[in-house]
């Protein structure tokens, strides 16, 4: 799926992965991703995780996902977030998301164009971002369709691609 | 057209004569790590064989040794995986260290290398003229195939000029990177290869270059690369498992931006909570008499000989303030031994510091010294995000080890140069 429509949650600049996946939580081996996701943003926005509904969209400012390489995209997947769109994004977060087939899009100017609670429509393939509440349209940076990250995302993530390559080798 | 350092490394590792910024390539990797816990990904992916077990270095550094049964069971699994996949380079506790110190200490990085590994501070090996960057979700793929895709990053350059104060004046690499993050922001290097050049680079010790490359990730850098010079080769001499292939940018290489930073008479810097880019000269905060509860010297960022020698100079014959606890943790077992041989542990112990073994623990709130509500820490680590070292109601200031030592003695954030 590459088109997402949903209610917007707004976050600011420099939202780091320590906030998304607090160290004291994610380092408890055996904790399920759904359990760990309950602590997402608990330091800066306590209670947010409980309010998220399936298909909601995150719109953020600059440098989303900066900091540690911990696999924070899994938290948003577990919460049911449809896609994350940000003015700019840590390349680590970007890659981690693409590699698990979790939708992300870089769209400079998006955080200016949305308020929390607006309805957004995002096409990850074309990069088109629309604020359905205010009728503002923006152009994000879609991945070139023949690029490795686009191929990985289309395959459903790196694990699926790897297993496909493994199966093809055995045949 | 001339190529930058990153372009040269990616071209060489992807079998191409030339690459340009923005181009996608598949490149072979010189080495990677199996860090505690990442063995689970191998099972998840169904990996049966590693691309080359001799190029995989296994260590657990984040919770060394395990503080919970869960963490201990992770290690039981990891040891099993190490044997199953034939990894000989396994650094069991007692011969262990923080991953980023293990790599150079055991010669697993050579100038010209392309290295990817779990843990964001993998940018560290850039100080040895390698292109190295962090990954996470792709670890199993890299372990199995020994290759990865890259989008060739554009390059920027920081030219460091002027008179480098150095450890004798208690101003080192840590202060330079805190100043860069403060003056240029944490996005200045976002998805770029950041090169460091200028006479000051060559005056800096490898330890100081390491700190800067280490915190390269804090300014968004994909790679943070230093030139290879005599100091680089001397440091790695007798250790390198593979011959060096030093890489330098062509004279007509294209940089998006070139920044100049003059470090003459630079003061030590501290970064206020809750962001590494919240840096200010320590002179600006002294008047505030910011009381500290905990002081920490260690981590992959500043847990090396230059760091402990600087701190020991200040702590010698003095005591940590009665209301402060100073925790000291070297980046590896070998460094622990060197500190012992040099008599540094005597100095720290006499000063009433708590000396521990090598672990990442205190840096990220794993174990060995979390912070409680309202507590203030001054720390030689790399990040001070809210909640990182324990309670979300605690406050972490980043600083160089001399500033940490001075502050531990006075009980509040202090300019270490007062101890000159």
pLDDT in tens, B392-414: 999 999 999 999 999 999 999 99
Using an 8 Å CB-CB cutoff, list chain B residues near A70: 136
| Residue whose pair of structure tokens reads 């719109």 in the numeric block | A59
Q: How far apart are CA A53 and CA A79, in angstroms?
A: 7
Using an 8 Å CB-CB cutoff, list chain A residues near B217: 92
Using an 8 Å CB-CB cutoff, list chain B residues near A158: 137-138, 141
Q: B85 lies in a domain?
A: yes
Per the DSSP assignment, residues forming a β-bridge with A86 are A60, A106
Find all residues with CB under 8 Å of A84, minimum gap 6, and list them.
Answer: A57, A58, A60, A64, A73, A76, A97, A102, A103, A104, A105
- Summarised one tens digit per residue, pLDDT across range A131-161 is 999 999 999 999 999 999 999 999 999 999 9
Partner residue facing A30 (CB), from B24, B70, B217: B70
The nearest CA of chain B is from the CA of A17 a distance in Å of 9
| Contact status, residue A60 vs residue A20, Cβ threshold 8 Å | no
Q: B407 lies in a domain?
A: yes
Say whether both B221 and B300 belong to one domain: no
| Contact status, residue B407 vs residue B391, Cβ threshold 8 Å | no
Contact B186 A99 (CB under 8 A): no
Say whether both B170 and B290 belong to one domain: no
Restricting to B residues 272-291, those with a Cβ less than 8 Å away from any Cβ of A are 275, 277
- Summarised one tens digit per residue, pLDDT across range B122-131 is 999 999 999 9
List chain A domain ranges.
3-142
Using an 8 Å CB-CB cutoff, list chain A residues near B390: 24
Write out the DSSP string of A35-102: HHHTTTTTTTSTTHHHH--TT-EEEE-TTBTBS--S-THHHHHHHT--EEEESSB-HHHHHHHHHTT-
Contact B135 A95 (CB under 8 A): yes
Q: What is the DSSP letter of A141?
A: B
Average pLDDT of chain B to the nearest whole number: 96
| Contact status, residue B408 vs residue B295, Cβ threshold 8 Å | yes
Q: B46 lies in a domain?
A: yes
- The Cβ-side half-sphere exposure at B274, using a 13 Å CA radius, reads 20
Residue of A nearest to B140 (CA): A159
Say whether both B287 and B256 belong to one domain: no
Q: How far apart are CA B25 and CA B17, in angstroms?
A: 12
Using an 8 Å CB-CB cutoff, list chain A residues near B64: none
Measuring CA to CA, which residue among B79, B88, B80 is closest to residue B56?
B88
Which tokens go with B176? 């330079």
Q: B246 lies in a domain?
A: no
Which tokens go with B14? 């992807």
- Summarised one tens digit per residue, pLDDT across range A32-81 is 889 999 999 999 999 999 999 999 999 999 999 999 999 999 999 999 99
Q: How confident is the model at residue B202 (pLDDT cuts 50, 70, 90)?
A: very high
Residue of A nearest to B393 (CA): A43
Say whether both B398 and B374 belong to one domain: yes
Contact B190 A90 (CB under 8 A): yes
Say whether both B191 and B329 belong to one domain: no
**pLDDT computed for residue A22 by the predictor:** 86
Residues above pLDDT 90, as percent of chain A = 85
Q: B241 lies in a domain?
A: no
**pLDDT computed for residue B27 by the predictor:** 98
Q: How far apart are CA B109 and CA B121, in angstroms?
A: 14
For residue A27, pLDDT beyond 80 = no
Which tokens go with B153? 């990053």
Measuring CA to CA, which residue among A97, A105, A136 is closest to residue A119?
A136
HEC string for chain B: CCCCHHHHHHHHHCCCCCCCCCCEEEEECCEEEEECCCHHHHHHHCCCCCCCHHHEEEECCCCCCCCCHHHHHHHHHHHHHHHHCCCCCEECCCCCECHHHHHHHCCCCCCCCEEEEECHHHHHHHHHCCEEEEECCCHHHHHHHCEEEEECCCEEEEEEECCCCEHHHCECHHHHHHHHHHHHCCCCCCCCEEEEECHHHHHCCHHHHHHHHHHHHHHCCCEEECCCCHHHHHHHCCCCCCCCCCCCCCCCCCCCCEEEEECCCCCCEEECCCCCCCEEEHHHCHHHCCECCEEEEECCCCCCHHHHHHHHHHHCCCCCCCCCEEEEECCEHHHHHHHHHCCHHHHHHHCCCEECCCCCHHHHCCCCCCECCCCEEEECCCCCCCCCCECCCCEEEECCHHHHHHHHHHCECCCHHHHC
Residues B41-45 have a mean pLDDT of: 93
**pLDDT computed for residue B214 by the predictor:** 98
Q: How far apart are CA A74 and CA B137, in angstroms?
A: 10
- Summarised one tens digit per residue, pLDDT across range B149-164 is 999 999 999 999 999 9
Say whether both B257 and B300 belong to one domain: no
Q: How confident is the model at residue A23 (pLDDT cuts 50, 70, 90)?
A: confident
Residues B269-296 have a mean pLDDT of: 97
Using an 8 Å CB-CB cutoff, list chain B residues near A149: 149, 151
Partner A contacted by B11 (CB < 8 A)? no
- Summarised one tens digit per residue, pLDDT across range B334-349 is 999 999 999 999 999 9
Q: How far apart are CA A161 and CA B6, in angstroms?
A: 27
Partner residue facing A96 (CB), from B137, B222, B385: B137
Q: What's the structural domain count of chain B?
A: 2
Mapped onto helix, strand or coil, the DSSP state of residue A29 is coil
Contact B383 A28 (CB under 8 A): no
Say whether both B85 and B196 belong to one domain: yes
Residues A85-107 have a mean pLDDT of: 97
Q: How far apart are CA B228 and CA A74, in angstroms?
A: 39
Q: How far apart are CA B402 and CA B308, in angstroms?
A: 9
Say whether both B278 and B325 belong to one domain: yes
**pLDDT computed for residue B223 by the predictor:** 98
Using an 8 Å CB-CB cutoff, list chain A residues near B219: none
The nearest CA of chain B is from the CA of A31 a distance in Å of 10
| Residue whose pair of structure tokens reads 């100038």 in the numeric block | B111
| Contact status, residue A103 vs residue A93, Cβ threshold 8 Å | no
Contact B136 A149 (CB under 8 A): no
Using an 8 Å CB-CB cutoff, list chain B residues near A16: 383, 385
Which tokens go with B405? 């030592």
Has domain A3-142 been given CATH number 3.20.19.10?
A: yes
Per the DSSP assignment, residues forming a β-bridge with B148 are B27
The nearest CA of chain B is from the CA of A107 a distance in Å of 15
Peptide bond into B274 cis (omega under 30): yes
**pLDDT computed for residue B355 by the predictor:** 98
Using an 8 Å CB-CB cutoff, list chain B residues near A99: 137-138
Contact A69 B190 (CB under 8 A): no
Q: B244 lies in a domain?
A: no
The nearest CA of chain A is from the CA of B36 a distance in Å of 11
Residue B253 main-chain phi, psi, to 5 deg? -65, 150
**pLDDT computed for residue A40 by the predictor:** 95
Domain region containing B322:
271-419
The nearest CA of chain A is from the CA of B236 a distance in Å of 27
Say whether both B27 and B176 belong to one domain: yes
Which tokens go with A107? 């769209």
Say whether both B308 and B403 belong to one domain: yes
Say whether both B232 and B323 belong to one domain: no
Measuring CA to CA, which residue among B33, B177, B228, B67 is closest to residue A69?
B33
Secondary element (H or E) of residue A166: helix A158-170
Q: How far apart are CA B24 and CA A145, in angstroms?
A: 12
Which tokens go with B24? 């996608």
Measuring CA to CA, which residue among B160, B413, B133 is closest to residue B295?
B413
Find all residues with CB under 8 Å of A168, minimum gap 6, and list them.
Answer: none
Strand order in the sheet with B395-398: B279-281, B269-271, B395-398, B376-379, B294-298, B325-329, B354-355
Q: What is the DSSP letter of A153?
A: H
| This prediction's pTM | 0.96
Residues above pLDDT 90, as percent of chain B = 96
Contact B388 A23 (CB under 8 A): yes
If one counts every other C-beta atom within 10 angstroms of the C-beta of residue B21, the result is 19
Q: How far apart are CA A47 and CA A170, in angstroms?
A: 48
**pLDDT computed for residue A145 by the predictor:** 94
Interface test with B, best of A48, A69, A146, A158 (most B CBs within 10 A): A69
Rounded alpha-carbon distances, angstroms, from residue B309 to B100, B168, B210, B304, B315 = 20, 10, 16, 9, 10
Using an 8 Å CB-CB cutoff, list chain A residues near B151: 147, 149
Partner A contacted by B26 (CB < 8 A)? yes
Q: What is the DSSP letter of A134?
A: T
Contact B137 A99 (CB under 8 A): yes
Contact A69 B366 (CB under 8 A): no
Q: B266 lies in a domain?
A: no
- The CATH number of the domain holding residue B136 is 3.30.499.10
Using an 8 Å CB-CB cutoff, list chain A residues near B365: 22-24
Per the DSSP assignment, residues forming a β-bridge with B91 are B59
Contact B190 A95 (CB under 8 A): no
Contact B70 A92 (CB under 8 A): no
Q: B150 lies in a domain?
A: yes
Say whether both B232 and B332 belong to one domain: no
């Amino acid at each position: 799926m590459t088109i997402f429509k949903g209610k917007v949650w707004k976050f600011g600049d420099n939202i780091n992965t320590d906030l998304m996946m607090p160290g004291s939580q994610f380092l408890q081996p055996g904790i399920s991703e759904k359990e760990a996701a309950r602590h997402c943003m608990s330091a800066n926005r306590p209670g947010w995780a409980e309010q998220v509904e399936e298909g909601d969209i995150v719109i953020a400012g600059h440098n989303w996902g900066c900091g540690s390489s911990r696999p924070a995209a899994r938290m948003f997947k577990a919460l049911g977030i449809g896609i994350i769109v940000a003015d700019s994004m840590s390349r680590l977060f970007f890659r981690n998301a693409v590699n698990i087939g979790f939708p992300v899009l870089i769209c400079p100017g998006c955080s200016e164009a949305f308020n929390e609670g607006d309805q957004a429509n995002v096409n990850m393939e074309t990069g088109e971002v629309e604020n359905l509440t205010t009728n503002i349209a923006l152009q994000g940076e879609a991945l070139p369709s023949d690029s490795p990250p686009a191929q990985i995302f289309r395959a459903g993530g790196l694990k699926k691609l790897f297993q496909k390559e493994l199966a093809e080798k055995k045949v | 057209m001339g190529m930058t350092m990153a372009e040269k490394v990616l071209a060489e590792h992807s079998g191409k004569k030339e690459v340009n910024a923005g181009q996608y390539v598949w490149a072979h990797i010189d080495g990677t790590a199996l860090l505690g816990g990442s063995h689970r990904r191998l099972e998840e992916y169904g990996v049966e064989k590693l691309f080359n077990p001799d190029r995989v270095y296994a260590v657990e550094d984040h919770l060394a040794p395990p503080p919970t049964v869960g963490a201990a069971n992770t290690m039981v699994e990891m040891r099993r995986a190490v044997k199953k996949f034939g990894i000989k380079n396994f650094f069991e506790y007692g011969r262990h260290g923080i991953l980023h110190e293990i790599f150079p200490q055991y010669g697993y990085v050579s100038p010209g290398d392309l290295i990817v590994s779990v843990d964001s501070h993998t940018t560290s090996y850039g100080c040895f003229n390698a292109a190295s960057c962090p990954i996470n979700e792709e670890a199993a793929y890299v372990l199995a195939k020994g290759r990865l895709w890259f989008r060739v990053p554009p390059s920027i350059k920081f030219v460091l000029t002027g008179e480098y104060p150095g450890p004798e004046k208690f101003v080192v690499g840590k202060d330079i990177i805190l100043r860069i993050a403060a003056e240029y922001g944490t996005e200045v290097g976002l998805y770029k290869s950041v090169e460091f050049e200028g006479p000051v680079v060559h005056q800096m010790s490898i330890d100081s270059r390491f700190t800067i490359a280490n915190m390269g990730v804090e300014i968004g850098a994909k790679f943070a690369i230093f030139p290879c010079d005599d100091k680089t080769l001397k440091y790695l001499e007798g250790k390198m498992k593979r011959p060096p292939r030093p890489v330098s940018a062509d004279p007509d290489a294209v940089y998006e931006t070139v920044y100049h930073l003059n470090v003459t008479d630079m003061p030590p810097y501290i970064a206020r909570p809750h962001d590494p880019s919240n840096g200010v000269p320590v002179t600006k905060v002294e008047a505030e008499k910011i009381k500290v509860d905990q002081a920490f010297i260690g981590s992959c960022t500043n847990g090396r000989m230059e760091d402990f020698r600087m701190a020991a100079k200040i702590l010698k014959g003095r005591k940590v303030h009665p209301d402060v606890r100073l925790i000291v943790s070297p980046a590896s077992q070998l460094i622990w031994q060197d500190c012992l041989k040099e008599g540094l542990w005597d100095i720290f112990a006499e000063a009433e510091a708590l000396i521990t073994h090598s672990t990442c623990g205190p840096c990220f709130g794993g174990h060995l010294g979390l912070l409680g509500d309202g507590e203030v820490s001054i720390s030689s680590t790399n990040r001070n995000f809210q909640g990182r070292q324990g309670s979300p109601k605690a406050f972490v200031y980043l600083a160089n080890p001399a500033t940490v030592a001075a502050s531990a003695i006075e009980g509040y954030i202090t300019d270490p140069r007062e101890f000159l």
